[in-house]
């Protein structure tokens, strides 16, 4: 996949491509990236790329000229052009999967208050938000979007690693343990040492259900649960109810 990032702060983005799993994906040739500073298309001695908003208001807006020249130089029209912004559609695992299937993606990093709407209308195919909070820079959001999608491309990470992780099947991930067996008086759940494959699978499945119910009950209504998993969920709910009842009674 070819990734192009248009930014005024290349130094914020570059390190991501130089470390860890992304570094390996680049070395393997799975990811090709280029980072373009669109200030290079700005004019005047100050190479101005932003200006005050028409109609008044706080902050600065990225001017249409330099960014659209940069976009034309890479023939962005017809390509999937992503603009990470808090006003975009929410990034989900399914959204990341759809982006991971593209051969090429272009990212525009906004800064300050935003990007002139005419540039969005002309070039942007996807306005994406990474959550209901505001970041000061589009660069960090761009890295989040890229991180969520590139790991799903074949060959980047082992496919088994993707199977049980959070959001696969619409559930959160089960807890993981490694050596030592005892750490600060706590030991690893015994079932994981039994070598009994089906018991371990069952325990992990229960843990995923319980974790999802505790931290993200909103996910359960869309999760694709089997009859057996629904029954397990009921029994976990029952146990929770009994624990809750015991706690209430102990306070009386």
Q: Which residues are annotated as a binding site for S-adenosyl-L-methionine?
A: 110, 130-135
Choose the binding region for ligand 6GU from 6-14, 78-86, 180-188, 190-198 (rule: CB under 6 A). 78-86
Interatomic CA distance for residues 25 and 78, integer angstroms: 26
DSSP bridge partners of 182: 187
Q: In this structure, are residues 42 and 6 in contact, taking their beta carbons and an 8 Å threshold?
A: no
> Closer CB to ligand 6GU, residue 91 or residue 210?
91
Interatomic CA distance for residues 202 and 199, integer angstroms: 5
Instruction: By CB under 6 A, tell whether 7 contacts ligand 6GU.
Output: no
The minimum distance between CB 218 and ligand 6GU, in angstroms, equals 18
Instruction: By CB under 6 A, tell whether 4 contacts ligand 6GU.
Output: no
> Closer CB to ligand 6GU, residue 128 or residue 209?
128
The minimum distance between CB 220 and ligand 6GU, in angstroms, equals 25
The minimum distance between CB 82 and ligand 6GU, in angstroms, equals 9
Instruction: By CB under 6 A, tell whether 84 contacts ligand 6GU.
Output: yes
* Residues numbered 122-181 forming contacts with ligand 6GU, rule: CB under 6 A: 128-131, 133-135, 138, 141
> Closer CB to ligand 6GU, residue 49 or residue 225?
49
> Closer CB to ligand 6GU, residue 133 or residue 247?
133
> Closer CB to ligand 6GU, residue 135 or residue 192?
135
The minimum distance between CB 185 and ligand 6GU, in angstroms, equals 40
DSSP bridge partners of 187: 182
Output the known binding site: 110, 130-135
Choose the binding region for ligand 6GU from 85-93, 185-193, 209-217, 224-232 (rule: CB under 6 A). 85-93
Q: Rule CB under 6 A: which residues touch ligand 6GU?
A: 84-86, 88, 128-131, 133-135, 138, 141
């Amino acid at each position: 996949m070819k990734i192009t990032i248009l930014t005024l702060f290349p130094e914020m983005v570059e390190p991501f491509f130089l470390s860890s799993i992304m570094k390996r994906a680049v070395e393997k040739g799975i990811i090709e990236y280029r980072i373009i500073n669109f200030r290079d298309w700005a004019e005047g001695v100050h190479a101005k790329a932003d200006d005050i908003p028409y109609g008044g208001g706080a902050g600065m807006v990225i001017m249409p000229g330099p960014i659209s020249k940069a976009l034309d130089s890479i023939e962005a029209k017809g390509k999937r052009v992503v603009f990470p912004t808090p006003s975009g559609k929410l990034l989900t695992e399914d959204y990341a999967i759809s982006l991971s299937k593209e051969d090429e993606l272009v990212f525009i990093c906004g800064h300050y208050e935003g990007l002139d709407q005419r540039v969005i209308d002309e070039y942007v195919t996807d306005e994406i938000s990474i959550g209901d909070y505001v970041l000061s820079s589009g660069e960090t959001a761009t890295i989040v979007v890229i991180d969520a999608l590139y790991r799903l491309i074949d060959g980047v990470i082992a496919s088994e690693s993707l199977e049980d992780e959070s959001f696969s099947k619409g559930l959160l991930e089960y807890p993981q343990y490694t050596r030592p067996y005892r750490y600060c008086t706590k030991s690893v759940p015994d079932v994981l040492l039994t070598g009994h494959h089906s018991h371990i699978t069952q325990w992990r499945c229960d843990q995923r259900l319980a974790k999802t119910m505790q931290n993200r009950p909103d996910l359960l209504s869309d999760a694709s649960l089997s009859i057996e998993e629904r029954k397990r969920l009921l029994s976990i709910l029952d146990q929770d109810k009994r624990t809750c009842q015991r706690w209430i009674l102990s306070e009386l």
